[in-house]
Chain A
Amino acid sequence: MTKVPGIGKVLIANRGEIAVRVARTLRRLEITCAALTHPDDTGNPAAAFVDEACPVEGESAISAYLDIDQIVSIAKRIGADAVHPGYGFLAENADFAEAVERAGIRWVGPAPETIRLMGDKIESRRFAAAHGIPVTPAASEEDDPASFSERAKEIGFPLLIKAAAGGGGKGMQIVRHPHELSHAIDLARSEAKRYFDDDRIFAERYLDEPRHVEVQIMADEHGHVVHLGERDCSIQRRFQKLIEESPAPAIEEDLRERIRAQAVLLARAAGYRNAGTVEFIVAPDGESCFLEMNTRLQVEHPVTEMVTGIDLVEEQIRVAAGHPLSSGQDEIRFEGAAIECRICAEDPERDFQPAVGRILLLRPAKGPGIRFDGGIAEGQDVTAAFDPMLAKLIVHGRDREEAIVLARQALAQTVILGCTTNLAFLERVLAHPDFISGRVETGFIPAHRTDLALPPLAEEERAALLSVAALTDRDFMASVEAVPEPYASMGDWQN
């Protein structure tokens, strides 16, 4: 008997960092864990971590990890009681959820209809608006394709063109001037088609200096819905989150309460089950608008776990097994502040282009209040095939100030060699006075580009680094040592 009655084995339909993260909880719950592997995916640390590595076939690892039929049949074959999708890949795929449930296996997530509803950005906005939650002025192309561009203009500039099926910043275009509109529409449509195989797009008002604040909710099949506080995810680059924290800094308490309540309201209205996240845009004047709801575990869920002390994966498994939530709203306590930094294989000096290499040395920061959720192992090749996120560093401090100091120390202590990472860049963001004072917004990184640029090395530092390189360079040292006596002792003497 495991610690969650009814669940003896879970297939994690994912790889890398999240697969390891989920498996860690499963192991603690004494649940057998299985995860997917593919021959091309040599750097997947989950394969060695889980109890059962299940090979999937496919031309590429990515296509294999997206192969619904195959994964469901694997789940059946190995006798999984539940499938945990992690995030990314099939996590928000209603068809997959449906196929899993049809196979008589529990789906760790909301019902397929809920996924479908929230997965459609246009439908979910309508749903939220219908329940009295403010949404940004928007126009959908499919309402009347002919008038789309006119209606978009009416929203006012700047505006955002988004994919209806979108997520992760893909297929998103900011339009600041009317003459850019048609080009942006074409671009967004083609990207939407490419990434989501769904070219429906919509336009939405773009708030300048907006903050991205989201509320974690948890619901069970017994009608309980709780929120686990909010997270600020404003520090982004290329529309993708980089640093997340909980609680959201420097916001008015009534705003905090309002969005928390709206998130619970929305979940309840949707008959939501399992973990979900309701995302809001917060304008500088404190106004908030519903953005979208994510029907899965978020990358940044650990900050919530740190401040609440609740293991979200454990809650997910319990709920999926049909158990009620372990805590009611009143029992949930928020303590201190947590910050998560996404450590990515990318070069901040080159517009965050993904970097490739091999992890030659990995020494995560350790210590009280530090959590390192890694998806990498030494010797692993970092290729362009997968998401550039290598690991997440999460810290928990008594207050935000302490968390920032701890995060900066932990980032400096974290050694990842062999591939360019954004570790030092993250540290510079945390050290920025505007970040420290909580003046964050989604345009933070481009706005502070100069401040955040790589500071030049001091001459001594440069010399020290070159010394290390030379002294550890096999050829260099062999050449130095090859000089025989008495020549070596004479130096560059000449008669």
Chain B
Amino acid sequence: MATEFDLEGLCSSVLPVHGQDALVLSIDGRPFRVGLTPGRATGEVVLEFGEERERVFAVQRGGIHFIHFRGRAHRVEAIDALARARKRAVAESGEESLLAPMPGVVVRVAVEADEEVEAGDLLMVIESMKLQTSIRAPHDGRVAEICLGTGASFEQGATLVRLETRDEDSEAEQAKERER
């Protein structure tokens, strides 16, 4: 469940407060009595916020909420805490080895050592049991080492490529947290 939302680059914790007569959200530790009812138009909702009622337009796509509120559009991102925890772990370790999923032979090396790569970039093509598999970067980073050259054969679990991760994101996040 998303309990953190990013608005204008700042993360806020939003937690339900159960056991109340109405829906109460604890936003960064402050309780707010809230409610939402559908409005008349598509995408329109009526926000009950404390004593106030306001017409708001809200749509979402892929965990991002676009909200038109008091004449201004805003973007609120629901944080996927699990994805963030994984990203942090990779960023902290600073390095990740891409292991061979099965024994095989290197067909092609698509990058060079020291090259900056983005998540999804092709690093290497391997062949095993007459099937070729693309080894792609799981996240942004720098190629620290290409452990095997074209034509080299390897066992399952062999290190194919070592990636150094860029941890700008986590640094930026930490900086944000410090700011808060």
Mark A residues whose CB is within 8 Å of B.
Answer: 358, 360-361, 363, 411-413, 415-418, 420-421, 423-424, 427, 454, 457, 460-476, 478-480, 483, 487-493
Contacts and interface: CB of A to CB of B under 8 A. Distances in A.
Contacts of A490: 18-19
Which of B12, B54, B59 has the most chain A CB atoms inside 10 A of its CB? B59
Given A418-B61, A467-B32, A488-B18, A473 B2 contact: yes
B18 A417 contact: no
Contacts of B25: 466-467, 470
Contacts of B43: 360-361, 363, 415, 417
A227 to B, nearest CB: 37
B72 A469 contact: no
B42 interface: yes
A446 B165 CA distance: 37
B88 interface: no
B7 A483 contact: no
B180 interface: no
Interface stretch (B74-82, B103-111, B121-129, B167-175): B74-82
Contact of B57 (A417, A420, A427, A487): A417
Interface in B81-124: none
B70 interface: yes
Given A466-B12, A468-B58, A491 B20 contact: yes
Nearest to B37: A471
A479 B23 CA distance: 13
A463 to B, nearest CB: 5
Nearest to B31: A463
B34 A471 contact: yes
B154 interface: no
Given A424-B73, A467-B27, A473-B2, A457 B68 contact: no
B147 interface: no
Given A412-B71, A462-B12, A463-B27, A469 B5 contact: yes
Contacts of B49: 460, 463-464, 467
Contact of A417 (B32, B47, B67): B67
A472 B60 contact: yes
B27 A476 contact: no
Which of A415, A424, A468, A483 has the most chain B CB atoms inside 10 A of its CB? A468
A474 B1 CA distance: 9
Interface of B: 1-3, 5, 7-8, 12, 14, 16-20, 23, 25, 27-28, 30, 32, 34-36, 41-43, 45, 47, 49, 54, 56-61, 65-76, 78
A67 B8 CA distance: 42
Contacts of B61: 358, 360, 418
Contact of A470 (B14, B57, B68, B72): B14
Given A471-B34, A476-B1, A464 B73 contact: no
A475 B82 CA distance: 14
Contact of A489 (B19, B66, B70, B71): B19
Contacts of A363: 41, 43, 57
B5 A417 contact: no
Nearest to B12: A466
A394 B35 CA distance: 36
Contacts of B23: 471, 480
B49 to A, nearest CB: 5
Contact of A415 (B7, B14, B17, B57): B57
Chief secondary structure at chain A's binding surface: helix
B69 A464 contact: yes
Nearest to A427: B71
Listed from nearest, the 5 A-B pairs whose CB atoms lie closest are A491-B19, A412-B71, A479-B1, A417-B66, A469-B76
Nearest to B27: A463
A278 B62 CA distance: 47
Nearest to A471: B36
29 contacts: A360-B60, A361-B43, A361-B57, A361-B59, A363-B57, A417-B73, A418-B61, A460-B49, A462-B27, A464-B49, A465-B69, A467-B14, A468-B47, A468-B58, A468-B69, A469-B76, A469-B78, A470-B5, A471-B23, A471-B34, A471-B36, A472-B58, A473-B78, A474-B60, A479-B1, A480-B23, A489-B18, A491-B20, A493-B19
Given A467-B25, A468-B58, A490-B19, A416 B73 contact: yes
Contact of B32 (A420, A454, A463): A463
Contacts of A424: 71-73
A466 B7 contact: yes
Given A457-B7, A462-B12, A463-B27, A475 B78 contact: yes
A490 B67 CA distance: 32
A464 B57 contact: no
Which of A360, A363, A413, A470 has the most chain B CB atoms inside 10 A of its CB? A470
A463 B42 CA distance: 23
A480 B19 CA distance: 11
Given A361-B66, A418-B66, A462 B7 contact: yes
A466 B17 contact: no
Given A468-B69, A472-B36, A487 B18 contact: yes
Which of A361, A465, A479, A491 has the most chain B CB atoms inside 10 A of its CB? A465
A467 B13 CA distance: 11
A464 B74 CA distance: 11
Contact of A465 (B1, B2, B7, B78): B7
A470 B78 CA distance: 8
Contacts of A471: 23, 34-36, 45, 47
A468 B1 contact: no
Contacts of A473: 2, 60, 65, 78
A363 B18 CA distance: 36
Contacts of A491: 17-20
Given A463-B27, A467-B34, A476-B2, A360 B18 contact: no
A27 B25 CA distance: 53
